[in-house]
Amino acid sequence: MNYKHVLLVTDLLSDADIVAQRAKRVILGFPEAKLSVLHIVEDDLVHFGRKPVTETTLTDDDPSGQWQETREKLARFIERNDLKTTHSEVTAAISNDKDIVKYCREQNVDLLIIGRHERQGIAAWLIKATADSILPNVPCDSLVVKLNEPVLE
């Protein structure tokens, strides 16, 4: 397969660099491919730290500056990992998994790269990993990077 559009989905957590470095190695094998990076802030009440913010306030003129702060965090992530992106985006959505699948379809992504945290305890019963939710529906090849540290929620 000759990939033309690779999408790296990131949660911007501390281990996101592991996934970014894997994406970087993959993209080196396809020098003609474009790389997009997507970060989705989930829920109708979007949580930045401990403060909930309604999705409709996540605009460039957001007086709290949280939307811009998230964009800057994504920019630092891209720069720190020396990713040669053609597009990067921070978007708010009700559903991570549905919007990732939608993005892949609309942007003709042919390879999706995403990390997957192990979940333990009650989180494993209540909340599926995003990667688990999108794999049956994503219209392209997928590389799921297993992250060693479990998510304890």
pLDDT in tens, 95-118: 677 888 999 999 999 999 998 876
The letter for the amino acid at 151 is V
CA pair distance 40, 104, nearest whole angstrom? 13
Name the phi and psi angles at 33, rounded to 5: -75, 145
Averaged pLDDT, 118-140: 67
Phi and psi at residue 50, to the nearest 5° = -105, -5
Global pTM value: 0.78
- Residue 7 one-letter amino acid: L
Q: Which domains does the chain have, with CATH numbers?
A: 5-38+66-88+96-147 (3.40.50.620)
**What b/e sequence results for 84-100 when a residue is b if at least 16 CB atoms lie within 10 Å of its CB, and e otherwise?**
ebeebebebbeebbebb
